[in-house]
Amino acid sequence: MEEMAVRSRPELFDFHGVSMVNYFTDNWEDVQKFKARPDDILIATYPKAGTTWVSQIVDLLYFGKTLPERKDSIPIHERVPFLETSFPGLPRGTELADSMTSSPRVIKTHFPVQFVPKSFWEQNSRVIYMARNAKDNAVSYFHFDRMNFVEPEPGDWPSFLQRFKKGDVVFGSWYDHVKNWWEKKEINSNILYMFYEDLAEDTDREINRICSFLGISPSKEERDYVRGQVDFNTMKNNRMANYSTISVMDFKISPFMRKGKVGDWKNHFTVAQNEDFDEDYQKNMANTTLHFKTEI
């Protein structure tokens, strides 16, 4: 179990126009100076959009065959360092990434696109952005904040939902995040924009999309192996993928691998909350060509 010296929940504050907590801003200078490599693969997401799922897929596509013991002995957050983290008592995300000897490096970030260190763009590193529909994303984020003590106190569901709509949660507005990354993708062919709902609907097809984007051609047997390893229940029971080695999360409150479903929002939103959310959503999404499925 990795022990972090976390004593109380952090406060949210405005950081260059985005709501953040100190764990993701304390190392800002070094993060901005981070030296990306051309073969780095950056996995970018709004929190709770399926980061761990894509991370496990990409890690296994590269190392599942050549380093099979890796997935059984190294937790996902070490195989795929979280770039902007600075947790007391643990190596910083930049230190973990800098010390990686395996290649390519697969690196995770929750940064809005304007915070990404410029060397990723200068080096033409490939980026996989994964987005999830706002309603399921909000539900997943609420349960995550309940169980994870490095997050601000979520309060009850109605108050969390109000704050989610306004972007008063860590890493800011869902709307700004998904739309600004979508715009960046329109002008940068090194970004693959994926959806949680598509990955849930047809995992094989989406793994094939990832392989094409990365320019790799694993055999059918290798792809099938990866497909089996990234099944929700397999990952939920895999200690190296389910975050059970992290001391600041209380799985008795809610497990990290919670439900893994599209449409769980229907079990949380009241009719009034749904109508109110839809009205706000239409306004916020009026200026984009980006569309989400909320059920499959």
Rank residues 185 and 236 by Cβ distance to ligand A3P and give the closer one. 236
Its sign, for the CA torsion 76, 81, 82, 87, is positive
Choice between 136 and 176, CB closer to ligand A3P: 136
Residues in the site for ligand A3P, rule: CB under 6 A? 45, 47-53, 136, 140, 143, 230, 232, 235, 257-260, 264
Measured from the CB of residue 286, what is the shortest distance to ligand A3P in angstroms? Answer: 27
Least distance between ligand A3P and beta carbon 264 (Å): 6
Q: How far apart are CA 283 and CA 279, in angstroms?
A: 7
Q: Give the span between the Cα atoms of 170 and 58, in whole angstroms.
A: 25
Q: Give yes or no for a contact between 263 and 294, defined as CB atoms under 8 angstroms apart.
A: yes
Residue 63 or 129: which CB sits closer to ligand A3P?
A: 129
Query: In residues, how long is the chain?
Result: 296
Nearer to ligand A3P, 47 or 152 (CB): 47
Residue 110 annotated to the active site: yes
Nearer to ligand A3P, 123 or 203 (CB): 203
CA distances from 50 to 10, 54, 101, 133, 262 (A): 23, 7, 26, 11, 11
CB of 38 to ligand A3P, least distance (A): 26
Nearest-approach distance from CB 132 to ligand A3P, in angstroms: 8
Burial 180-211 (b: 16+ CB within 10 A, else e): ebbebbeeeebbbbbbbbbbbeebeebbebbb
Dist. CA 85–CA 31, nearest whole Å: 9
Q: Which of 77, 110, 143, 177 is catalytic?
A: 110
The distance of closest approach from Cβ of residue 240 to ligand A3P in the complex, given in angstroms and rounded to an integer, is 13
Minimal CB distance residue for ligand A3P: 260
Q: How far is the CB of 206 from ligand A3P (least distance, A)?
A: 11
Nearer to ligand A3P, 155 or 260 (CB): 260
**Residue 235 CB contacts under 8 Å (≥ 6 apart), including other chains:** 52, 53, 56, 229, 241, 242, 257
**φ and ψ at residue 249, rounded to 5 degrees:** -105, 135
For residue 194, give the 3-state DSSP assignment.
strand
Catalytic residue numbers read 110
